[in-house]
Structure 1
Amino acid sequence: MNRITQLFNIKYPIIQGGMIWNSGYKLASAVSNAGGLGLIGAGSMYPNVLREHIQKCKKATDKPFGVNVPMLYPNIEEIIQIIIEENVKIVFTSAGNPKTFTSFLKEHGIIVVHVVSSSKFALKAQEAGVDAVVAEGFEAGGHNGREETTTLTLIPMVKEKIQIPLIAAGGIATGRGMLAAMILGADGVQMGSRFAASIESSAHDDFKKTIINTGEGDTQLTLKELAPVRLIKNKFYNDVQELYKSCPSKEDLETLLGKRRAKRGMFEGDLEEGELEIGQIAGIINDISSVKNIISSIIIEFEKAKLDFIDYKF
């Protein structure tokens, strides 16, 4: 056992990212049943839908699972209340100030983890009383840090600053990547893109197929003026880049983005006009597999890489 498996009472220090439009109860329960920690992604759910997914997840697994809550969610108070009413024991917060709800959640016996993109914010999260932090590098899919700090540099920087458990995220989808992150100082890893391309992911099949066809250089971090997001280069992405040529205002970018763009892409499968969020690591994801097989292959590769590392001689 290490600090992460002990904190969450799980077999492997692998956390599934709570990705919008990908992370329903089927994915979360499958990850938990396979020995990791599954997270329901509340960011793309109305409050009543989240309650339904929590209840279904309880029936689908007797293992620990959690909910990922973006702090900028418009119905945040209602979401928090549902989490408490449904007796969820683990909450990952992101995109906001960890002080807002950490004390309140912990008063209800909930383990709180906050997602950060810098050592500065990791310290603030520790001061707010969270139980662990996820340090997410520039390689990650979805919304990201403006500083573009890569996982390779971010993890040791954060490790130097905090005492609480550290989870690495961004560009990790294999056992070798998991070992590398832990050698750098992480106690566990969070993986999003690898689980987005799983059978149990709630994403549209066409989006899953696009993930496994995404190669090196096919994603880009953009829309920093709104909220930095890593996108697959499709028609919508090209439209964004074309708009940048005219030095657009924030309002111009918001008008182009519109509403429900991510749902349109990842959940409904509009590969041209939709927002397709995925990490750089998609370049080495080559199949859509079951969660059970994904975690099994990660652990086998991790153990082999660990032995190879120990046997390595200069």
Structure 2
Amino acid sequence: MPKNKITQLFNIQYPLIQAGMVWASGWKLASAVSNAGGLGIIGAGSMYPEILIEHIEKCKKATDKPFAVNVPLLYPDIDKIMEIIISEKVEIVFTSAGNPKTWTKHLQEHGIKVVHVVSGVKFALKSQEAGVDAVVAEGFEAGGHNGRDETTTFTLIPMVKEKIKIPLIAAGGIATGRGMLAAMVLGADAVQIGSRFVASPEASSHQNFKEMVVKAQEGDTKLTLKELAPVRLLKNKFFDDIQKLYTENPSKEQLIELLGRARAKKGMFEGDLEEGELEIGQISGLIHEIKPAAEIVKEIIEEFETARKEVSAL
């Protein structure tokens, strides 16, 4: 595969990035993806500072390839997290859920490349203005926390591409080589894939959750809790409880009370499929087996190359 803006920026073999996902993407998954030629990401959103140090150090031992750390900017201990990233000499940081202006320059002054995740054109332009090295534009098909406007990846990528000059990474609803090719035809320089890597032995999420992802069909996920922070969930008892509460026209406080604390940990990490929050993308309906991360990368790249030849013959 020829080099492009993203493979050159990150010094990786393939323009394929594993998303930083809470409770799923620790050092094992990140190092496996990086070793397979993609860019692995440690998801710091579910980690206390001391846990993040442990994951970064283990990842360094497990791979000599580049890897990144994803940091939600609303994280309560953000100063400590950034201090760790700088002191541990992490080379690439993906930021999300917050203002990219806050940390971008500071990180770049320490030689760190910064990518910001956005859900719309307006935020992509703000990120470019903040000086980020690239943006991830994520359509509303994606799992986990999501954009309020429900803009799909198929429409979002060309709209962002039209407005920005920096490298563009597509995310949301991509789990195959054909999906990767489609996103790049639409203008992306690379893709970021989350849900597909949840169904791997290296993902730190619970086996119960992985098996539920593999069983998921079309229509088994839905975006909800827009009043708090929109999140795409697998339908389960907790999801049904949310829907039932909505019939009573609840206040924001009632929704917060129902959500409670550590709901995502309960579902994705501890494997409580009834009461837990199960964040996954719509593309889960196309994920049919749990397989090693390296095999997933290989399969995606092989399908990408096959599809590219088929398209060129049209």
TM range (shorter): over 0.9
State the Cα deviation string for residues 263-311 of structure 1 (Å, max 9, x = none): 0000000000000000000000000000111010101100000000000
Aligned counterpart for 2:63 among listed residues 37, 61, 64:
61
Partner of 1:93: 95
Structure 2: gaps of 5 or more residues: none
Partner of 2:166: 164
Name the SS for the 1:155 alignment partner. Answer: helix
Superposition pairs of residues 15-26 of structure 1, within 5 angstroms? 15-26=17-28
Partner of 2:37: 35
For residue 67 of structure 1, report the CA deviation from its aligned partner.
0.2
Name the SS for the 2:150 alignment partner. Answer: coil
AA of the residue aligned to 1:20: V
Instruction: Give the TM-score taking structure 2 as reference length.
Output: 0.99
AA of the residue aligned to 2:244: E
Tell me, in whole angstroms, the C-alpha distance in 2 between the residues paired with 1:270 and 1:292.
28
Tell me, in whole angstroms, the C-alpha distance in 2 between the residues paired with 1:152 and 1:10.
25
Name the SS for the 2:102 alignment partner. Answer: coil
Tell me, in whole angstroms, the C-alpha distance in 1 between the residues paired with 2:288 and 2:5.
31
Instruction: Give the TM-score taking structure 1 as reference length.
Output: 0.99
Partner of 1:229: 231
Name the SS for the 1:112 alignment partner. Answer: strand
Partner of 2:214: 212
Superposition pairs of residues 1-314 of structure 1, within 5 angstroms? 1-312=3-314
Tell me, in whole angstroms, the C-alpha distance in 2 between the residues paired with 1:88 and 1:156.
31
- How many residues are treated as equivalent by the alignment? 312
Tell me, in whole angstroms, the C-alpha distance in 2 between the residues paired with 1:129 and 1:46.
28
The structure 1 segments of at least 4 consecutive aligned residues displaced by more than 4 Å after TM superposition are none
AA of the residue aligned to 2:133: D
State the Cα deviation string for residues 191-222 of structure 1 (Å, max 9, x = none): 00000111100000010000000000000000
Tell me, in whole angstroms, the C-alpha distance in 1 between the residues paired with 2:251 and 2:62.
46
Tell me, in whole angstroms, the C-alpha distance in 2 between the residues paired with 1:176 and 1:230.
23
Tell me, in whole angstroms, the C-alpha distance in 2 between the residues paired with 1:306 and 1:103.
38
Compute the RMSD of aligned alpha carbons.
Answer: 0.3
For residue 80 of structure 1, report the CA deviation from its aligned partner.
0.3
